[in-house]
Amino acid sequence: MLAGAIPAVLAFAPAQWLAAGVAQASAERVLLIQPRGTVWTGSAQLVLTGGAASQDRAALPGRISWRLRPTLDGLRAQLHASCCTSAPLQAQVQLRWGGARLTVADGHSQWPAAALTGLGTPWNTVQPQGQLLLRTQGLQADWASGRLQLGGQVQLDALALSSRLSTLKPMGSYRLVLQGASVPTLTLQTLEGALQLSGSGQWVGQRLRFSGEARASPEREAALSNLLNIIGRRSGARSLITLG
């Protein structure tokens, strides 16, 4: 009876179990609210927060749905968001001796920038508005002997961004590219707009080292001054951005 009961419990494990696991793994920064269905096929409302002690939170419009299926060597996953994905995002996890591999299928999705305010500082101050267009190509992550090797590319286009810190709407559109390699790199460039952003960085071990700058076109400097003071260290007309 016990041998028969265990597979039945696993097969019909409630979606609440997955919600609890996601909350714990993300330190309560990602919450699945009002989960329905099972661990394997279900849906919920996705909420971003600043953590357990934070009052900041923002929910995606609509619900997200998932489909998980075990394989001989791991797990396949599909994720669909009614607000943001025209086709389900797909990924596969393969377990290996001493590690694992995550493979993300090529795809694209579009997300509201306003959802970032739920993550707390600094997003709750900036309060971005606009659209985030996410594309993945050949994305693959390998964990072995405690080390992470990243391959492929992630491109994030932030389109028609605006902020409560500036009267200028929109401020511009920007592109952030993560390029996998033995030492992954990150580049930031401006596509268009009065607020000019640029920068580059790389991961050294588990730490990102990034340096960049923000500046306003001369005729828009007054409208963007508050934002420039917050996003980096002010140096004349520039704001210097340093991470790591």
Say what the pLDDT of residue 5 is.
45
Domain boundary among 68, 100, 132: 100
- For tokens 């520039």, name the residue: 238
Domain boundary among 58, 77, 100: 100
The token pair that represents 216 in the structure block: 């306003």
**Cα three-residue angle 162-166-167, rounded to 5 degrees:** 95
DSSP assignment letter at 93: E
All residues at 6 or more sequence positions from 152 whose CB lies less than 8 Å from its CB, including other chains:
104, 136, 137, 138, 139, 140, 180
Are residues 154 and 89 part of one domain?
Answer: no
Are residues 124 and 188 part of one domain?
Answer: yes
**Cα–Cα distance for residue pair 237/154, rounded to 1 Å:** 31
Over the stretch 46-59, which tens digit does the pLDDT of each residue have? Answer: 999 999 888 899 99
Q: Decide: 123 and 132 in contact? Cβ < 8 Å.
A: no
What predicted TM-score, i.e. pTM, was given to this entire model? 0.90
Q: Decide: 164 and 172 in contact? Cβ < 8 Å.
A: no
Model confidence at 239, in pLDDT bands (50, 70, 90)? very high
The token pair that represents 137 in the structure block: 């190509």
Are residues 165 and 50 part of one domain?
Answer: no
Are residues 218 and 196 part of one domain?
Answer: yes
Are residues 35 and 58 part of one domain?
Answer: yes
Over the stretch 75-113, which tens digit does the pLDDT of each residue have? Answer: 999 999 999 999 999 999 999 888 999 999 999 999 999
CA 223 to chain centre: 29
Are residues 84 and 175 part of one domain?
Answer: no
Helix (H) or strand (E) holding 6: helix 2-11
First to last CA, the chain: 55
Say what the pLDDT of residue 189 is.
98
Are residues 123 and 87 part of one domain?
Answer: no
Are residues 127 and 85 part of one domain?
Answer: no
Handedness of CA 30, 21, 205, 179 (dihedral sign): negative
Are residues 87 and 111 part of one domain?
Answer: no
Are residues 129 and 27 part of one domain?
Answer: no
Say what the pLDDT of residue 12 is.
63
Are residues 110 and 96 part of one domain?
Answer: no
The structural domain count of the chain equals 2
Q: Across the chain, what does the average pLDDT equal?
A: 91
What percent helix, strand, coil does the chain show, rounded to 5? Answer: 20, 55, 25
Are residues 90 and 202 part of one domain?
Answer: no
Domain ranges, residue 25: 1-100
Domain boundary among 100, 117, 141: 100
> Mean pLDDT lowest for which of 13-22, 57-66, 165-174, 204-213?
204-213
**Cα–Cα distance for residue pair 155/172, rounded to 1 Å:** 17
All residues at 6 or more sequence positions from 66 whose CB lies less than 8 Å from its CB, including other chains:
18, 41, 42, 43, 77, 78, 79, 80
DSSP assignment letter at 116: G
